[in-house]
Structure 1
Amino acid sequence: MSQPESTSQDILPTWVDSSLIKGMLRGIERESLRMQSNGFLSQADHPKALGSALTHPHITTDYSEALMEFITPPKETISEALNYLKDIHAVTHAHLENGEKLWPLSMPCMLDKEEDSIRLAQYGTSNIGRFKTLYRRGLGVRYGRRMQTISGVHYNLSFPDHFFEALQKHETDDNLKALSLQDYRSHRYFALIRNFIRLTPLVMFLVGASPSVCKCFMTGRDHQLLPLMKGTLFLPYSTALRMGNFGYQNSAQKQLGIHYNDIQGYLEGLQKAVHTPYAAFSHLGLNDEQGEPIQINDHVLQIENEYYSLVRPKQVPEAGETPSEALQNRGVGYVELRAVDVNPYSPIGIDEHTAGLLEVVALYCLLQDSPALLDAEQNEIELNQAEVVNRGRAPNAAILQNGQSIAIEEWCQQYLSQLQPLAQLLDDSYNTDIYSKAMHVMQSRIDEVDETLSARMIEDTLEHGGTWSFGSFMAQQHADVYEQHQLSAETAAYFAEAAEQSLQKQAQLEQDSSISFEEYLKNFR
């Protein structure tokens, strides 16, 4: 059922004080390709000294065997989350082999002409391990393997229950007051999600960092990109090509009509996609000529995680639960903000300015009215996103707002001004100045477009002589930082133990398989 909307009009209601925000948690997931010393994508296995990519809690792989993913646990402050991420990078760097480095850009390092040289992530011989690799094979068959070499940052954020209780107490709608805390919390998180989708052009403009690509990434694809210099393509005013047509796009998913107006509608849309065959994917077949499976199924989504979105409602699944079942059973526990490029100037891919911005924007999105997101507005948002992705830094770049065109700087300024009191509130909550400093940095990017990450990257790519040279230079700078990073004895011991335990867990899973993989897959299908 769709739920009634709250009516508060204030940017920061007078009753909201800093104590109510205390208890927020944030966790960060950062992806990065392993790059060989010659600049090409690594062909080596995931380093064994880092443990099992299947079962390690913090160091795993995403699509490709070379695409590492680093995951922090939820932390009480931005500084703690970033420091944990620094530890993970230092540990990982220490165990990279043969002079490999972590590639520092969202768009990939050098790729061979052959797609098969982008190795699928391997998770061992257990049924769950083989299933994960098959899912990735399916993604490659459906969308090409090149698309799966893109890196991003996902920012996970939750607000404390006492904050939702206070919000609910101040609702004027009796239907909202009557909801259980779980249902009310989900209602407010979905409101946050709708508003965050509305504000993704702001995030892309301020922290977008993929204005150009290595020419090799576009092999075999039609595009309108222009040569920046030998080996590098770009659009003159682009900010975040990763978030546009060359990034994660799926025309089949566009037709799903999955919306974020309430949790039930969202879950029903997702389930329909997971169970609906799609002709183009059926045409690919389920198995290759040797009878080996090449995709889990021929449905619009093989599994729920295949649904690409800018922001996701999340709940930690318990044993045996799918993400949807976790949401159905316990409601939304946190949101995953996914419209964030890797910042090549930060050794860990994200800095406290971006983290501060994301938290202030999320709090704003939670507190503001959030009407249902209908098709007409969704179309307008997509036009705005495309404008910012492709030409956000152009002197005449403009945002559509209720059908009216408004200069992008003016639109961004309008929101940044509204975010200021929330930044102050968060600073007060945490006895810090991270949030107001973040606003100051973002203000400088609105005042002077050349201060944006995307503008700096174009300048530095030209100065270094291309994407590969710029990326390699930054990778070496970051490697120096990792080497100087001091791990405490306790932290070093923890990661050594985590690696060892993850290998044991994987071995256990491989011994426990009581049915064949064919049977396992048949049961899933």
Structure 2
Amino acid sequence: MNQPESTSQAVLPTWVDSSLLQGMLRGIERESLRMQSNGFLSQADHPKALGSALTHPHITTDYSEALMEFITPPQDSIAKTLSYLTDIHAVVHRHLENEERLWPLSMPCMLDNEEDNIRLAQYGSSNIGRFKTLYRHGLGIRYGRRMQTISGVHYNLSFPDRLFSALQQQETDPHLRQLSAQDYRSHRYFGLIRNFIRLTPLVMFLLGASPSVCKCFMTGREHHLLPLLKGTLYLPYATALRMGRFGYQNSAQKQLGIHYNDIQGYLDGLQKAVKTPYADFSRLGLNDAQGEPTQINDHVLQIENEYYSLVRPKQVPQAGETPSEALANRGVGYVELRAVDVNPYSPIGIDESSAGFLEVLALYCLLQDSPALLDAEQEQIEQNQAEVVNRGRAPNAHIVEDGQDYQIEAWCQKHLDAMQPFAELLDQANTTQLYVQALQLMQQRIDEVDHTLSAQVIADTLTHGGTWNFGSVMAQQHAAVYEQHQLNPETQAYFDELAQTSLQQQQQLEQDTDISFDEYLAHYR
């Protein structure tokens, strides 16, 4: 369905009342590598005391067996979300074995020369478990396993239905007024997504915390990074190398042409990618010499989740649904903001100020005009992103927006000023000062570039004598915080029970397997 342009105003509409924002929900997914006491990536299995990574709702693994992922359920305040995330970290810390620690940086801890020592995540012998591991094997042969050791923070956010209902009543375009509530909500969320993509350089500048990498991460790769000191590479003015060409990027996806101008176009693009063979991946073959599968298929995407994007439209899938089917059936339910580095100074990878800033930014993106994102603008945005990733703190760094050239601080300032009333509105809705204070902290980073997280990381890496030393010091400090965190008996019992239940659920899945994995895979292929 072609959806017409919104005619909303480019400033905070006067009729938007703080009560319309009550009922916002947010959740966080935080990734962190398990690190051995010698600083190298853990080779150990996921701790059994934490339950099954396949079926546990809050503690799982991402690409590798050592890359943990902590997931909060949706909460009605930032404080509750961060508190829940802290509980998860404390639970995990209690069950780490052999003096392992959680690595606090987005870019990985020490990796040795053998890619195979980055162990793929294991999910047991059920068909779905083996499928998940095979998917990761496919990622490894397509992009290399090192790329998959990068950690991030994903911030999930939904706005209340009453806000969308009020917005729709204010529309002057008859087509938009006639959309179903579901279609209108999706239309507005896609507007948010387009604007968030336009403003990702702001996120990278203010929250970027990966200006340097351990030299081991670049093994076997050509690069333009410079030595900061022994064992550490960097770029002098970088902010978020995780978001650049050494991070989650791949050329096959660049050619997809997936756009965010409406939900149907997005879903069509995704489906095409999941069903279209890609010559480079075909050459890798589907099976090894022994006939064992090595990737799910040779398509541009093995599955939909392989599409790396800065922000995703999401809907909670029901049993048996793919993410696309969930979106097609029920529209966009929330957005996942994915351009966020792990904050190494926070024991849980994100702090209250970053969360508050992201929510103000998301509301700002939702309520602004959001014209279609066409190829020429997309190309300019990618140039802006590369500029901020590689040299965002440089005195002459600049951003081009609407054909105008801005010094980066001036561009950040322009948007931060425009976001102020949105922060005040969120403070009113939540009876707090968190949101305005979050913008005040971001203002300090614009005023003085040395206050940005990326500048602090460089300074502290120099102070401690390298990435590994800095990361280890922070990991030790964070471990002390987890140790001191008091888990109430109900929380402890809840997580103990979840661990047991998840192991039983995995066992049940393994017993219920009634077709061979070969048949299961053939059916998917």
TM-score normalised by structure 1 residue count? 1.00
Structure 1 segment 399-438 matched on structure 2, within 5 A: 399-438=399-438
Kindly indicate whether the alpha-carbon contact (under 8 Å) linking 2:10 and 2:369 is maintained by their aligned counterparts in 1: no
Q: Aligned partner of 1:431: which letter? A: T
Q: What's the secondary structure of 2:199's corresponding residue?
A: helix
Shift of 1:403: 2.8
Q: Aligned partner of 1:503: which letter? A: L
Q: What's the secondary structure of 1:282's corresponding residue?
A: helix
1:67 has 2:82 as partner: no
Structure 1 segment 120-519 matched on structure 2, within 5 A: 120-519=120-519
Shift of 1:7: 1.4
Q: What's the secondary structure of 1:148's corresponding residue?
A: helix
Q: Aligned partner of 1:241: which letter? A: L
Kindly indicate whether the alpha-carbon contact (under 8 Å) linking 2:105 and 2:471 is maintained by their aligned counterparts in 1: yes
**Whole-angstrom CA distance in 1 between matches of 2:76 and 2:253:** 35
1:296-329 Cα shifts (integer Å, max 9, x gaps): 0000000000000000000000000000000000
Runs of 4+ in 1 over 2 A off after TM superposition: none
Shift of 1:402: 2.4
**Whole-angstrom CA distance in 2 between matches of 1:145 and 1:10:** 44
1:338-371 Cα shifts (integer Å, max 9, x gaps): 0000000000000011000100000000000000
Q: What's the secondary structure of 1:339's corresponding residue?
A: strand
Query: Percent of pairs identical after alignment?
Result: 80
1:131-163 Cα shifts (integer Å, max 9, x gaps): 000000000000000000000000000001111
1:233-256 Cα shifts (integer Å, max 9, x gaps): 000000000000000111010001
Query: Which residue number in structure 2 is paired with residue 92 of structure 1?
Result: 92
Q: Aligned partner of 1:15: which letter? A: W
Q: What's the secondary structure of 1:29's corresponding residue?
A: strand
Q: Aligned partner of 2:402: which letter? A: N
Q: Aligned partner of 2:187: which letter? A: H
**Whole-angstrom CA distance in 1 between matches of 2:206 and 2:46:** 34
1:172-205 Cα shifts (integer Å, max 9, x gaps): 1110000000000000000000000000000100
Does the C-alpha gap of structure 1 residues 248 and 10 become closer, same or farther in structure 2, counting only changes over 3 Å? closer
Shift of 1:106: 0.1
Q: Aligned partner of 2:109: which letter? A: C
**Whole-angstrom CA distance in 1 between matches of 2:143 and 2:225:** 20
Kindly indicate whether the alpha-carbon contact (under 8 Å) linking 2:314 and 2:334 is maintained by their aligned counterparts in 1: yes
1:20 has 2:12 as partner: no
**Whole-angstrom CA distance in 2 between matches of 1:293 and 1:487:** 44
Shift of 1:401: 1.5
Shift of 1:111: 0.1
Q: What's the secondary structure of 2:380's corresponding residue?
A: helix
Q: What's the secondary structure of 2:151's corresponding residue?
A: coil
Q: Aligned partner of 2:368: which letter? A: Q
Q: Aligned partner of 1:174: which letter? A: P
**Whole-angstrom CA distance in 1 between matches of 2:108 and 2:6:** 43
Kindly indicate whether the alpha-carbon contact (under 8 Å) linking 2:2 and 2:262 is maintained by their aligned counterparts in 1: yes
1:51-99 Cα shifts (integer Å, max 9, x gaps): 0000000000000000000000000000000000000000000000000
1:110-143 Cα shifts (integer Å, max 9, x gaps): 0010000000000000000000000000000000
Shift of 1:271: 0.2
Q: Aligned partner of 1:193: which letter? A: I
Query: Which residue number in structure 2 is paired with residue 103 of structure 1?
Result: 103
Shift of 1:10: 4.2
1:31-64 Cα shifts (integer Å, max 9, x gaps): 0000000000000000000000000000000000
**Whole-angstrom CA distance in 2 between matches of 1:323 and 1:57:** 17
Shift of 1:8: 2.1
Kindly indicate whether the alpha-carbon contact (under 8 Å) linking 2:204 and 2:240 is maintained by their aligned counterparts in 1: yes
**Whole-angstrom CA distance in 2 between matches of 1:388 and 1:8:** 30
Q: Aligned partner of 2:26: which letter? A: R
**Whole-angstrom CA distance in 2 between matches of 1:32 and 1:283:** 33
Q: Compute the RMSD of aligned alpha carbons.
A: 0.5
Q: Aligned partner of 1:224: which letter? A: H
Q: Aligned partner of 1:411: which letter? A: W
**Whole-angstrom CA distance in 2 between matches of 1:5 and 1:419:** 22
Shift of 1:5: 1.3
Q: What's the secondary structure of 2:80's corresponding residue?
A: helix
The count of aligned residue pairs is 525
**Whole-angstrom CA distance in 2 between matches of 1:346 and 1:151:** 14
Q: Aligned partner of 2:344: which letter? A: P
1:428-462 Cα shifts (integer Å, max 9, x gaps): 10001110110000000000000000000000000
Shift of 1:404: 2.6
**Whole-angstrom CA distance in 1 between matches of 2:288 and 2:78:** 47
**Whole-angstrom CA distance in 2 between matches of 1:341 and 1:393:** 16
Q: Aligned partner of 1:11: which letter? A: V
Q: Aligned partner of 1:337: which letter? A: L
Shift of 1:2: 2.3
**Whole-angstrom CA distance in 2 between matches of 1:7 and 1:293:** 51
Q: What's the secondary structure of 1:70's corresponding residue?
A: strand
Structure 1 segment 34-45 matched on structure 2, within 5 A: 34-45=34-45
**Whole-angstrom CA distance in 2 between matches of 1:62 and 1:331:** 26
Gaps of 5+ in 2: none
Gaps of 5+ in 1: none
TM-score normalised by structure 2 residue count? 1.00
Q: Aligned partner of 1:77: which letter? A: S
